[in-house]
Structure formats: structure tokens, C-alpha cells
Homo-oligomer: A and B are copies of this chain.
Amino acid sequence: MFNNPDMQPSEEKLERLRASMKEHNIDAYLIPNTNPHLGEYSPDHWRIIEWLTGFSGSAATVVVTDTFAGLWTDSRYFVHAENQLAGSGFTLMKPVLSLKKDYDSWIAENIKQGSRIALDGIIFSIDRLRKIEKLLEGNRISIDTECDLISELWTDRPALPSSPAFDHPLFFCGKDRASKIDEVRAEMRLIKVDYHLLTSSDDIMWLLNIRGNDVKFSPLLSSFAIIGALQILLFVDENKIPLKLAREFDKLEIIMLPYEETAGMLSTLSPDDSILITPSATSAALYKSIPEGMKIQEDVSIPARLKCVKNKTEIENIGNVMVKDGVALTKFFYWIEQNYGSMPMSELSLAEKINNLRLEQENCLGPSFSTIVAFNEHGALPHYSPAAETNFVIGPQGILLIDSGGQYLDGTTDITRTVAVGIPAEQQKRDFTLVLKGTINLANAKFPAGTRGYQLDILARKALWDDGLNYGHGTGHGVGFCLNVHEGPQSISPVAGADSKTNIEPGMLLSDEPAIYREGMYGIRIENLILCYQDEETEFGQFLKFDTLSLCYIDKSLIDTSLLEKKEIEWLNSYHSEVYEKISPFLTSEERKWLKDKTDDL
């Protein structure tokens, strides 16, 4: 994904883009790093910023004027971006979140009165557009939201993905299409909307029990849908739907229409009706197709609210997937220890190794995100992925952080383990143990129904804060079921944002991943997936707890036992005996012996 020497250089593309801007009388052109579904991973067709600038990170926005070309990304990508943008003609711009200095405030401060800004509303969410419009209020700057200058310039642009969809059977997903559709419609009646626009492909995958292969890391089929009281309009390339599925859809009054006709169909709805949309996931183009006068409700989508609570079958399947995933990880770490010193190991080779071990497991489709293998100072970059240019050889001494996950037909995983290479230093052990205390204390939480993620976040940080340490990201994200590894609306984070109204509910799957990053030295993160379940009900209401589902030993050589409280040691010992019990049946006798040692009581 790095600069390809065969490709046209970025500077030349930039020049051509500027020429096109001039021709169209545009003073500033905005390019977001998104796609029409506003999802996290984009098909190659929509990787405009990578094509234009060479930058491959997932979060970026580009602003081009006659005299300036800047790329905004967030702190986790600064090092990457600095390398990839060298010589591209693009300046790396660093947003200052505390001052709300992002690309949009740059525009508000630098674009002259009377200017004309343009962007392609097909890949720009209405949420973001509103924010810019608000910042520019009273500035006499016009925004053309229907301007695609890229298609013309990008001559060898990859086509839209064309992978076929497939059925996600009931023994995996646990609830049939008809029931899910009924549930969504019941919610629609409750909030009195006639239509519900679905723009996030994973919502549609969940609702229709299908999966696709249009996007890396997530089994998605690019599609839109409009749910009405009797019919569902499904906007998708018909060739991607196998006949058997198409027949099932017919029975449920799911009408397939061409993907490109979504906006057109939206515009034919009656202005007397009402529609529910999700502003952060709805493109400005689709939003503007909604007939004027139509009553628009804005909220998290109903499928998002339903699918984040896993059903009984899904929970059972996730339990099985955790065993498979844990077996792959255990074999991986065993293999490292057996072969370390006798064969060269690098970040890239280890990433390949763990990916392959997962693929050996039943029903594994591949990694659920770009595998992170980060040795020493690379670990201090929270979203570092190994690449040829930066690849470290592992050893002789240091901290190895591995964050990886798998997509399985029966669930999605995401787990981070940090292990010592050689003898760890005292500070490394102290840091690791404080992070571990965080992982354990969140996992051990008991809390009343109605509690929100932002209330629990401190449990994972408290031990670090007491030592003057902290980490700059959230503690937990929702996880899909054979869907996106980052799934909303729930989260555990210091930020109480728009989704802060989301209670943590029984059946929700979340990550639990406190960390510490010592710049230039190493990073430590311990991540498990935790599932919320009902605990006791008292006169003060229903209480909830978490069950830790991920199954992989935690490196005891990095633990300073003197820092752990009794109940923390108990948690770890009990966790380790569960890991041994569930994983050992699938190991060779050597591996089993090795794991016994790794999971012995502290």
C-alpha cells in the first residue's frame, strides 16, 4: 500500500487536479477518505487520497487550493504520513483537537470571502458538511457538493467491487431475516417513521443475513436499502446476488434495484411521509435526494441498535470462535518461542504467521483488520502496521506487541497481547502490570443497568493515572458478528459524544484494551473481548457484569506481582486456568506442556 514507483507521481496528479479546479472555477477542493457508505474500510475504487497523495492511512482529509495542498490525519498516523507524503507536494497538517483545529477550521480561517469550495457529496457525510457550513456561516463562501473532479483524472481507477454475496445461515446468525425485518419495522412504528434509510452495509448484512467480499477485512456487500412498511428496496448490483438468495428476497418483498438508483428512488418518496436516517453514515448526496418537506428523524440506525446486542446463538458461536482463535494464538506464541534464535523473525514474517495460523481454523475468512506486529518503539505508535520500509527484525531484547483478529463465519475476534523478548526491565514490568490492572478492573466491573460506557472507562485507567500515566485512545469498542471489527453504537471511552446515550446492555460485545505508549521506547496493550451479561437484581435494580471471552495467556514474565491486589491475582489465575482448560485439548502434547507453564498460578 506504499508509494508505487510505477505510478504517476503525486505532484503531477496534483497539477492536473489544480488545472481541473481552475477549469471548473473552484478555489478549494475537499477530498475525504471515505466511501458512499461512510464505512471504515474502503474498496480500492474509493481510495482517492492514497492514489492522489500516496498516503495509505484510513483517516485523512485533503484540501487543495491554488497555492496549498494539505492532508489532515490524526496523531496515530503522523509518522507514517510524514514518510509517505515526502515529495508528494502535500503538506502534513496536524489537527489540534483541544483547540478544535481541524481541516474545517483551516478552511474557515484561510479561504477568502467570495470563494467557491467544491466536494463530491457522494462520499461526504451530511454530518461533516453541516459542520463546515456552520463554520463558514456568514463568510459568503459557496459550497458545490456535486463536484467529482477525480473520475476524469484517475484513468486507471479500479472498478467498483463485484464480489458475489452469500447466505449467512441461521446456525451462525441465530435469527431469520423475516424476524429481524419484523423487529426493525416494530421499532419504526414505535418512533412513527414510514421509511428507514440504511446506508451502512453492515446494517444490511445483519438484517438480510448475507455477507459479501467487497471490502478488505469486513465481509460486506456494498449496498443501500430503504425499509418501508411492506417492502424493502435493496440497492445492489443484481449480479452479485445468487439466485437462491434472490428467491428468498422475493418472498420477503425485498425488491432489488440497481445500486446507482438509490438517490433517484429516495427522491420519489412522498413528502408527506417520514424517514429515519443516520447523519454520520448518510452522504450529503443521498440526504439531498430526500424530498423537501419530508419529515426526517435522525438517529443511530435501528439495525445498529439491534445488532449490537448479540443473540443466544451468536453468543454461543462467539464462544467457539474464541477457542479457535485462542488455539491459533497459542500455537503462534509457542512457535515463536521454539524458533526464536534459530530462524530470523521480523514484524512482517510474524504477521504472516499469525494470519496463516488463523486461516487454518475452521470457517476463518481472514484477518478482521490489518495485523499489528510492533517491536519496541513501533509499539508506541498505536496503529502501526508493519511494512517493508519499516520492518523490524525481532530481538535481541524488548517488547513485542501483537494486535490481531480474525473474521470467522461464526464471529469476529480482536485481541492484543504484549510479550517480552529477553529479560524485561523493571519499568517495563511496572507499566505492563498497571495496564493489566486496568484490563482486569474493567473486566471485573459490576454496574447497574443504564450505565454508559463513559462511566466505566476510568476503571481501565485508574491504576495508570495513579502513576501519572495515560493512553490517548478509548478503552473499548463494540465488535460485530462476522462483521465490522469496530461496531457501534456502544463504546467505553472518556468521550461522551452523540452516542453517549447508549447504555451497556446484556449481550453487547466490547473490547477492553488499556495501554501505555512510551514514545521511542515501546508500547504495551492488553486487549480482551468482554461480553455483558445480567448479574443479580437487588432492590436498587438490575446489575450487570462482563465475561471475558478472549482466550490467550498473558505473559507472566512481564508481571510485577507486588503491584497486584489479591482479587486481581485471583482473576488472573482463574482466567489462566480457563484458557488452559479450553485451549489445551486442541494442542500437541508439547504445546500443552508449554501452555500449562504459561498459565500456571501466579
Q: Please judge, given known A-B contacts A458-B458, A458-B459, A496-B500, whether A465 and B452 are in contact too, CB under 8 Å.
A: no
Cβ < 8 Å to B, chain A residues 89-136? 98
Q: Is the CB of B500 within 8 A of A469?
A: no
Q: Is the CB of B500 within 8 A of A465?
A: no
Q: Which chain B residue shows the least CB distance to A466?
A: B446
A470 on the B face (CB < 8 A): yes
Cβ < 8 Å to B, chain A residues 436-451? 445-448, 450-451
A500 surroundings in chain B (CB, below 8 A): 496, 500
Q: Please judge, given known A-B contacts A446-B465, A466-B446, whether A494 and B540 are in contact too, CB under 8 Å.
A: no
As a 0/1 sequence over residues 426 to 464 of chain A, the CB contacts with chain B under 8 angstroms (1 = contact) are: 000000000000000000011110111011111100100
A75–B541 CA distance with the chains assembled, in angstroms: 16
A179 on the B face (CB < 8 A): no
A543 surroundings in chain B (CB, below 8 A): 465, 468
Q: Is the CB of A455 within 8 A of B452?
A: no
Q: Which of B98, B458, B540 touches A468 (beta carbons < 8 Å)?
A: B540
A538 on the B face (CB < 8 A): yes
Cβ < 8 Å to B, chain A residues 505-545? 519, 536, 538-541, 543
A448–B98 CA distance with the chains assembled, in angstroms: 14
Q: Which of B295, B459, B468 touches A536 (beta carbons < 8 Å)?
A: B468
A494 surroundings in chain B (CB, below 8 A): 451-452, 455
How many Å from the CB of A567 to the closest CB on chain B? 10
A452 surroundings in chain B (CB, below 8 A): 494, 496
A468–B448 CA distance with the chains assembled, in angstroms: 8
Q: Is the CB of A541 within 8 A of B470?
A: yes
A470 surroundings in chain B (CB, below 8 A): 448, 540-541
A536–B446 CA distance with the chains assembled, in angstroms: 31
Q: Which chain B residue shows the least CB distance to A447?
A: B465
A540 surroundings in chain B (CB, below 8 A): 468-470
A469 surroundings in chain B (CB, below 8 A): 538, 540
A446 surroundings in chain B (CB, below 8 A): 465-466, 468
How many Å from the CB of A513 to the closest CB on chain B? 17
A295–B494 CA distance with the chains assembled, in angstroms: 33
A536 surroundings in chain B (CB, below 8 A): 468
A448 surroundings in chain B (CB, below 8 A): 465, 470
A451 surroundings in chain B (CB, below 8 A): 494
Cβ < 8 Å to B, chain A residues 291-339? 295
Q: Which chain B residue shows the least CB distance to A517?
A: B540
Cβ < 8 Å to B, chain A residues 340-391? none
A462–B451 CA distance with the chains assembled, in angstroms: 12
A138–B295 CA distance with the chains assembled, in angstroms: 10
Cβ < 8 Å to B, chain A residues 465-491? 465-466, 468-470
How many Å from the CB of A519 to the closest CB on chain B? 8
A447 surroundings in chain B (CB, below 8 A): 458, 465
How many Å from the CB of A124 to the closest CB on chain B? 26
Considering residues A469, A539, A540, which has the most beta carbons from chain B within 10 angstroms of its beta carbon? A540
Q: Which chain B residue shows the least CB distance to A541?
A: B470
How many Å from the CB of A585 to the closest CB on chain B? 35
A312–B540 CA distance with the chains assembled, in angstroms: 42
How many Å from the CB of A288 to the closest CB on chain B? 22
How many Å from the CB of A271 to the closest CB on chain B? 13
Q: Which of B295, B445, B458, B539 touches A456 (beta carbons < 8 Å)?
A: B458
Q: Which chain B residue shows the least CB distance to A497?
A: B496
Considering residues A295, A452, A462, which has the most beta carbons from chain B within 10 angstroms of its beta carbon? A462
A455 surroundings in chain B (CB, below 8 A): 454-455, 457-458, 494
A450 surroundings in chain B (CB, below 8 A): 98
A450–B538 CA distance with the chains assembled, in angstroms: 35
As a 0/1 sequence over residues 154 to 168 of chain A, the CB contacts with chain B under 8 angstroms (1 = contact) are: 000000000000000
How many Å from the CB of A75 to the closest CB on chain B? 14
A462–B459 CA distance with the chains assembled, in angstroms: 10
How many Å from the CB of A431 to the closest CB on chain B? 12
How many Å from the CB of A327 to the closest CB on chain B? 34
How many Å from the CB of A47 to the closest CB on chain B? 34
Q: Which chain B residue shows the least CB distance to A458?
A: B455
Q: Which chain B residue shows the least CB distance to A501?
A: B496
A500–B455 CA distance with the chains assembled, in angstroms: 12
A456 surroundings in chain B (CB, below 8 A): 458
A519 surroundings in chain B (CB, below 8 A): 539
Extra contacts, 17 of them, besides A452-B496, A470-B541 (Cβ < 8 A), are A98-B450, A445-B465, A446-B465, A447-B458, A451-B494, A454-B455, A454-B496, A455-B458, A458-B458, A458-B459, A459-B462, A465-B543, A468-B536, A469-B538, A496-B496, A496-B500, A519-B539
A interface, CB within 8 angstroms of B: 98, 138, 295, 445-448, 450-452, 454-459, 462, 465-466, 468-470, 494, 496, 500, 519, 536, 538-541, 543
Closest 8 CB pairs of A and B: A496-B496, A468-B538, A470-B540, A496-B500, A455-B458, A448-B470, A446-B465, A469-B540
Chain A to chain B contacts (Cβ below 8 Å), 12 pairs: A446-B466, A448-B465, A452-B494, A454-B454, A455-B458, A468-B536, A468-B540, A469-B538, A469-B540, A496-B496, A496-B500, A519-B539
